[in-house]
Structure 1
Amino acid sequence: MEARAEVERGQLPLWMPVALGTGIAAWFLLPGQGAWVAFLLLALSVALGGMVLPWGMRTARVVAWAGMLAMLGCALVWWRAERVAAPVLARPVVVAFVGRVERVEPLPAREAVRLTLLPDAGAGLPPRLRVNLSEKDMVAGVVPGARISLRARLMPPPTAAVPGAYDFARAAWFRRLGATGRGFAPVRVVTPGNPGNAALRDRLTDHILSRIDGSTGGIAAAFVTGDRGAIAEEDAEAMRRSGLAHLLSISGLHVTAVVVATMTVVLKLLALFPPLALRIRLPVVAAAAGAGAALFYTWLSGADVPTVRSCIAALLVLAALSLGREAITLRMIATGALLVLLVLPESLAGPSFQLSFAAVTAIVALHEHPRVRRWFLARDEGYGRKMARSLGSLLLTGVAVEAALMPIGLYHFHTAGLYGALANIVAIPLTTFVTMPLEALALLLDVAGLGAPAWWLVERSLALLLWVAHVVASAPGSVAALPAMPDGAFALMVLGGLWIALWRTTWRRWGVVPLAAGVLWALATPAPDLLVTGDGRHLALATDDGGMAILRDRAGEYVRSTLGEGGGVLGALPPLSDQPGARCSPDLCVARRQAGGRVWTILATRSGYAVPWAELIAACARADIVVSERRLPEECRSRWLKLDRAMLARTGGVAVTLSTGRITTVRGGGQHPWETPETIAPPRPPYRERRNGRNGGASDAAR
């Protein structure tokens, strides 16, 4: 081991963010305080074990540092979760209140505006909440800093609907959001505010949308301000399925384009003055200008986490260039990851962090490989061979990136694009060398009112981008779907990928073992036969043709997509009432499913109306599984599993695999802060308002 560590000594620092991330991941995966303390003691014992070894050995220092960093990661994210603690709304409520506007996010494609509000201290509400307003209910003067009064239907941040789905409650906890909901007219501005940089962002977004309509205008605005609200959902879905969704988030590609453009312009302008060019180092000055442009672009786009991460990486690259060092290296990526995890440790659990660092690590590791570097080294050859070599490099890079991102996409979203490498061969050069320069030129020409021709070219280039996205997304077999992946399988794939990417000698090949084991584990995990949402209103049952049928015919698109992704199913979910072997009335539905060598009977309620007592008790006795959004009587006893409101309040969403009898729940009795938050009881409206607003509240919720 000491000989191996000596050979790989240049690669050992790359594992520092991995060790730190191991501690952070352990805190998210382990259930509660006892397990967290046990992990801290285990990591401490590993660190002390390294110190017991002779300190002159490189292996001893590696073991000691790994233990200390893992312990630091677990303690850091634990401290961070406690530091951002804020009360959460205890139950849904319709309430009128006054609050200060913190952020305004237009969503033109949904004809809505999203507001982040800080209610007044006497409102009896959480300190920060988020509401969506219809565009027609918005009034002038609703800008950051303004105090407004409105009426809204609020609810606690929802947990994952089913196992493996997106857990908004966890994300909301670290954003200090205590409630979400929908606001209603009338909205009144009590005190005007000062929008600051948001006014510039909004004006710039509105200006771009006034030049280009529809989703192409929304993509153009996303490139400049990061505002994606004007992109239609079908176009956004096509971008995701084609592997081009990364272009819509301001990250490394966009920040790099801004920095390179700024440095090029500054270098060319300063080179026109020989006295300056002979006396100062122009690349250093250009790098400083590029750093300023990166910081300004990050501020302008709202300083979201992916943009901040990309800005940090750009500043590190510029610093390396100024010092005359090689800039794009795995050490630079490791430094950026370490800085982000130290400041925002919770970002490790999000797909944004994982996708961005996995992509850039795969690119750099691939091109640092000696054989790949020899393949694509610049040569004195004809233009055709140079072009073929460049296209081969781009294609190989795309394939490596897709291979690195596919496990992450399948783990978080249960789908992954298969043709993303081919789509990116066209999309990345088009975006980097055509669309973004043309858009910058159009904005510059608009100062003199001459930008119309440039905007037409921008629109044509974005129409081509959307065409590529739709063609790739609709191609046969363009998307792979997989049901919820076990955490252990994903961890093995991540470990195998890191082992292959971060080592240089031949023992990197051993990373194939955990990688293949994780892939086989994920593929061998059977899809659930039954998915039940945490409120008990919706369920999806596997069908004989490999699809899933949904209980309520009028379920919303979000519910349908969540249940389909959880079951690893693409396409529409047919009604359960249309399936053979299912008998449904407006109030009850009985379905049968053959699995594990027997036939299972599932009973589910479909409405809130009362069912005759004797019939309900008899139906429960004949069913193996009973599902209901209401609290069922004690006498309703199924033969195997009863999932009513009381049970689902403890378990959250449930996934059942009938062939193995495995039951997976969203809530596993964990003690994470968002699972057991401090709640704040919402204020009760006056009796007159409650009496007059009962039907109105139901109507608002339905709307």
Structure 2
Amino acid sequence: MEQWLEKEREQIPLWVPVGLGIGIATWFALPHRWAWLAFCCVTLALASAAVLLPTGGRARRMAVSAGILACLGCLLIWGKSALVGEPPLQRATFAVLTGEVRSVSPVPSKDMVRLLLRPVGAPELPSLVRVNVREADMSPAIDRGATVRFRVRLMPPAPPSLPGGYDFAARAYFQGIGATGRALPPIAVIAPATGGPDMRNRLFSHILDRLEGPAEGIAAALATGDQGAIAEDDAEAMRRSGLAHLLSISGLHVTALIGAVIFLLMRTMAISRRAALNWPLMLIAATGGALAGIGYTLLTGAEVPTVRSCIAALLVLGGLALGRDAITLRLVATGALIVLCLWPEALVGPSFQMSFGAVIAIIALSEHPRFRAFAAARDENGWRKFGRSVAVLLMTGFAVELMLAPIAFFHFHKAGMLGAFANIIAIPLTTFVVMPLEALALLLDLLGLGAPAWWATGKALDFLLLIAHGVGGSPMAVALGPALPNWVFAVMVMGGLWCLLWRSAWRWLGLAPVGIGLLAILLNPPPDILITGDGRHVALRTEGDGMALLRDRAGEYVRDALTESAGYDGTLESLASLPQARCSADLCSVLLDRGGRSWRLLVTRSRMFVERKAFMRDCQWADIVVSDRRLPRWCRPRWLKVDRSMLAATGGLAINLENGTIRSVHSPHDAHPWMPRRGRTDQSRSR
């Protein structure tokens, strides 16, 4: 082992952010403080035990460091959650809210505006709330610094409605948002804003005024990072085609801007003979590029993905200014370590995982000797050079898709299959055509001459959307799958990192956990019953691999959440239309044949009183009873009773009848700080 670690000594530091990340991920996975404390004790105990290994060995130092780093990661996110986060509102409430506007985010695609407000004179409310306001109810006087008053129904930030869903509650907690709601007109302006819109909103509105049609939303997103003007069908096409990364201000955009600034500065300074011979051109150009990157990051709102990309770019520029090869995995590890120390909560988000996963895959592939030999420049004709460049892009695209597929399956329950082909055209089109044209149009607008450049920008963006809709519309564009268990994702990530971070033949041992994860994905059965966290919406898997929904009037958001969690791409049927279902206005009973037996399911459909004698008989007949209200103690089904009390403790459920497993959104004892605190009455009733 020591001989192997000696050969890999250059790669060992790459595991420092991995050790820290294990502690952070464990804090999110374990439910309460006693479990977090136990994890810290165990990791420190392992580090102490590792001291007994032979002195001077790399294995000893690595084992001690791993235990300490994992403990530090858990303490880091635990400490930040205690010091920075905003506890959520405990229950829904109507209020007359007077608040100071902290930010304004237009969402033209939904005809609304999002306001971030700090309540005034309301100590019972969280210190920061996010409210949606209809565009028609907005006033020019409402901007950052204004004071407004209106009636609003505030809700705690929403947790995932189903296992594997998007956890807005956790994200809102670390953003300091304690409640969300929708404002009821009229909106009274107590004190108007004095400074006018900020630069980002002015730029956003300016771009929307210069372009028309679907292209305007894409152009505004590329310049400001705000995707609020993108129509839902265009956004879905970008996601299905694997081009959604172009809409988020991240590495591609920051790199393109910094590269353009460096190129222009180098060319401009090289015109002067004195500058070319005597000045440190690369240092000056790198400094200009760094300032441009920092300014662009601040302009686009300094979101975590943009800040992360800016940090990585600054590290690259520092290496170039010092004359060193900066595009290495050590750069990636350094950037990841900085981000985890500043924003440890970013680790569990898809943005962090996808961006760093893609960069690790690209650099690991580029460092492989065979790939480097194939991609190296050589004396050959133009067609062969073009074909080699396309092959390199395809190989890189496939490597990125393979790396990102488990992440996409875990977070979004689907993964792109044709993204590598779409990106061959889309990335050069965006980097070398769209973004330069848009920058030129904005510069010419200073002189009032930007119309031709905006026309060209619109045509280029129309072509980009044509690619997105063409690729995204293919039935092979996306592979769907039901929500994955956490352990499958963890095993695949660790196996992938083992393959990519080591360099000797032992690296291929990581293929074993990757293979186990792939097999688990292929064998992962879709749930038979899905129940949302409020108990109102129930979806069943039918005999022909279709899905049926209890309430036909469920909105698009609920339908999308149910179908995505189940990995289903078809149309939801009505539960009442199933031949094995018997439904009245108050109850639905369904027979399901799973696992070699028949399951009897009883679901309530209304809040009307049901006669006790009949309801008791139905409960005794059923194996599973599901209700959005609290059921009496005498309702005792044979296997499972799911009512408001249980769902308050577990959140939404995914039930597999063939093996009798139940997945919940969170543990009944989950004590993460964004979880609403349940009162003693609710706890006693649930018991």
- Fold-level similarity (TM above 0.5): yes
The one-letter code sitting in structure 2 at the alignment partner of 1:344 is W
Report whether the alignment pairs 1:319 with 2:318: yes
Other-structure match for 1:342: 341
Q: CA deviation at 1:615?
A: 3.2
Runs of 4+ in structure 1 deviating by more than 4 angstroms, as ranges, are: 675-680
For the residue of structure 1 that corresponds to 2:359, the secondary structure is: helix
| Distance in 2 between residues matched to 1:551 and 1:214, nearest whole Å | 38
Instruction: Give yes or no for the alignment of 1:450 onto 2:449.
Output: yes
Task: Please say if residues 88 and 675 of structure 2, whose CA atoms lie closer than 8 Å, have aligned partners that are also in contact.
Answer: no
Alpha-carbon distance in structure 2 between the residues aligned to 1:316 and 1:49: 37
- Whether contact under 8 Å (1:416, 1:481) holds in the other structure is yes
| SS state at 1:88 partner | coil
SS at match of 1:601: strand
What is the correspondence of 1:60-75 to structure 2 with a 5 Å cutoff?
A: 60-75=60-75
8 Å Cα contact 1:8-1:503 kept in structure 2: yes
Paired position in structure 1 for 2:42 = 42
Structure-2 separation of matches of 1:539 and 1:619: 18
Q: How far did 1:471 drift?
A: 1.3
What corresponds to 1:570 in structure 2? Answer: 569
Distance 1:597 1:678 in 2: 41
Question: Which residue pairs with 1:143 in the alignment?
Answer: 143
Aligned length: 679
The answer to whether the 8 A contact 1:169-1:674 is kept is: no
**Cα separation, 1, equivalents of 2:604 and 2:28:** 35
Q: Which residue of the partner structure matches residue 602 of structure 2?
A: 603
Give secondary structure in 2 for the equivalent of 1:515: helix
1:517-532 alignment, distance < 5 Å: 517-532=516-531
What does the per-residue CA deviation read over 1:439-477, in whole Å, with 9 as the maximum and x for residues that have no partner?
111111111121111111111111111111111111122
The answer on 1:288 being equivalent to 2:283 is: no
CA shift for structure 1 position 621: 2.5
Unpaired stretches in structure 1, ≥5 consecutive residues: 681-703
Which digits, 9 at most, give the CA deviation of each residue in 1:502-534, with x for residues without a partner?
111111111101110111123222211001011
SS of the residue corresponding to residue 117 of structure 1 reads: strand
Whether the aligned pair in 1 keeps the contact of 2:173 and 2:674 (CA below 8 Å) is no
User: Residues of 1 paired with 2:646 and 2:125: CA distance?
Assistant: 28
Q: Are 2:112 and 2:134, in contact at CA under 8 Å, matched by a contact in 1?
A: yes
Match of 1:157 in 2: 157
Paired residues of 1:104 and 1:113 also in contact (CA < 8 A): yes
Per-residue Cα deviation, 1:312-346 (whole angstroms, up to 9, x for no partner): 00000000000001021110000000000011111
Alignment of 1:17 onto 2:17 = yes
Cα displacement (A) at 1:195 = 5.4
The range that moved more, 86-95 or 288-297, is 86-95
SS, match of residue 122 in structure 1: coil
Deviations 1:465-497 (A, max 9, x none): 111111111112221111111111111100111
- The one-character-per-residue Cα deviations of 1:100-133 (angstroms, maximum 9, x if unpaired) are 1112111000001111111114352111111111
> Which residue of structure 1 lines up, in the alignment, with residue 133 of structure 2?
133
Match of 2:241 in 1: 242
Aligned to 1:619: 618
Number of the residue aligned with 2:582: 583
Shift of 1:48: 2.4
- Measured after TM superposition, the shift of residue 639 of structure 1 is 2.2
Q: 1:309 maps to which residue?
A: 308
**Distance verdict in 2 for CA 1:510–1:295, change over 3 Å:** same
Secondary structure of 1:594 counterpart: strand
The aligned counterpart of 1:656 is 655
Which residue of structure 1 aligns with residue 78 of structure 2? 78
- Residue 50 of structure 1, CA deviation: 3.6
Give the letter aligned to residue 290 of structure 1. Answer: G
Distance 1:151 1:38, change over 3 A: same
1:632 Cα offset (Å): 2.2
> In structure 1, what is the equivalent of residue 685 of structure 2?
none
Give 1:135's aligned amino acid. E
Name which of structure 1's ranges 539-548 and 575-584 shifts more when overlaid on structure 2: 575-584
Mapped to 1, the partners of 2:66 and 2:552 lie a distance apart of 53
In the alignment, is the contact (CA less than 8 A) between 2:548 and 2:573 conserved in 1? yes
Partner residue in 2 for 1:122: 122
Distance in 2 separating the partners of 1:4 and 1:344 = 34
Residue 51 of structure 1 is matched in structure 2 by 51
C-alpha contact 1:98 1:123 (8 A) present in aligned 2: no
**AA at the equivalent of 1:263:** I
CA distance in 2, matches of 1:458, 1:574: 43
Aligned AA for 2:544?
D
CA distance in 2, matches of 1:215, 1:574: 32
Alignment of 1:356-505 (within 5 A): 356-505=355-504
Task: Label 1:288 to 1:194 Cα distance change in 2 as closer, same or farther (>3 A).
Answer: farther
What is the rounded CA distance, in whole Å, between the counterparts of 1:376 and 1:518 in structure 2?
31
Q: CA deviation at 1:351?
A: 0.7
Tell me, yes or no, if the aligned pair for 1:596 and 1:658 is still in contact at 8 Å.
yes
- The range that moved more, 263-272 or 105-114, is 263-272
Answering whether residue 517 of structure 2 is matched by residue 515 of structure 1, we say no
Task: Please identify, of 73-82 and 598-607, the stretch whose mean Cα deviation from structure 2 is larger.
Answer: 598-607
3-state SS, counterpart of residue 512 of structure 2: helix
TM superposition shift of 1:233: 0.7
Equivalent in the alignment of 2:30: 30
Letter in 1 for 2:96: A
Q: Which residue of 2 aligns with 1:260?
A: 259
Moved more, 116-125 or 535-544: 116-125
Residue aligning to 1:693: none
Shift of 1:139: 1.2
Question: What's the CA shift for 1:148?
Answer: 1.3
Letter in 2 for 1:590: S
| Cα distance in 1, alignment partners of residues 125 and 602 from structure 2 | 39
* 8 Å CA contact retained: 2:211, 2:458: yes
Matched to 1:427, the amino acid is A
8 Å Cα contact 2:85/2:175 also seen in 1: no
- The SS at the match of 2:183 is strand
Q: Percent identity?
A: 53
Structure 2 unaligned spans of 5+: 680-687
2:667 matched residue in structure 1: 668
1:307 CA displacement = 0.3
Distance 2:87 2:451 in 1: 50
Residue 218 of structure 1 aligns with which residue?
Answer: 217
> How far apart are residue 31 of structure 1 and its match?
2.1
Kept after mapping to 1: 8 A contact 2:98/2:121: no
What TM-score do you get using the length of structure 1 for normalisation?
0.94
CA-CA distance at 1:51 after TM superposition: 3.3
1:239, 1:279 → 2: CA distance? 48
Query: Cα distance 1:514–1:365, how it changes in 2: closer, same or farther (>3 A)?
Result: same
| Alpha-carbon shift at residue 586 of structure 1 (Å) | 3.1
Given that 1:88 and 1:679 are in contact with CA atoms closer than 8 Å, whether structure 2 keeps it comes out as no
CA deviations on 1:63-84 (whole Å, 9 max, x unpaired) are: 2222211111011011111112
TM-score of the superposition, structure 2-length normalised?
0.96
Contact 1:628 1:645 in 2 (8 A): yes
Rounded Cα–Cα distance in structure 2 between residues aligned with 1:399 and 1:538: 39
1:558 is the counterpart of 2:557: yes
Cα distance in structure 1, aligned partners of 2:173 and 2:254: 29
Separation in structure 1 between the aligned mates of residue 429 and residue 540 of structure 2, nearest angstrom: 43
Q: Secondary structure at the match of 2:198?
A: helix
Is 2:119–2:126's contact at 8 Å kept on the other side of the alignment?
A: yes
| Other structure's SS at 2:51 match | helix
Name the aligned partner's letter for residue 417 of structure 1.
G
Q: Which moved more, 1:173-182 or 1:428-437?
A: 173-182
Pairwise CA RMSD:
1.6
What SS does structure 2 have at the residue aligned with 1:22? Answer: helix
CA-CA distance at 1:225 after TM superposition: 0.6
Separation in 2, partners of 1:82, 1:191: 34
* Residue matched to 2:682: none
Q: Shift in Å at residue 199 of structure 1? A: 1.5
What does residue 684 of structure 2 align with?
Answer: none
- Alpha-carbon offset, residue 677 of structure 1: 4.8
Please list, as runs of the form range in 1=range in 2, the aligned pairs for 1:170-185 lying within 5 A after superposition.
Answer: 170-185=170-185
CA distance in 2, matches of 1:194, 1:363: 48
Deviation at 1:368, TM superposition (A): 0.6
Q: Is the CA contact (8 Å cut-off) linking 1:317 and 1:332 kept in structure 2?
A: yes
Task: Find the aligned partners of 2:302 and 2:73 in 1 and give their Cα distance.
Answer: 24
Displacement, 1:678?
A: 5.9
User: Partner letter of residue 303 of structure 1?
Assistant: A
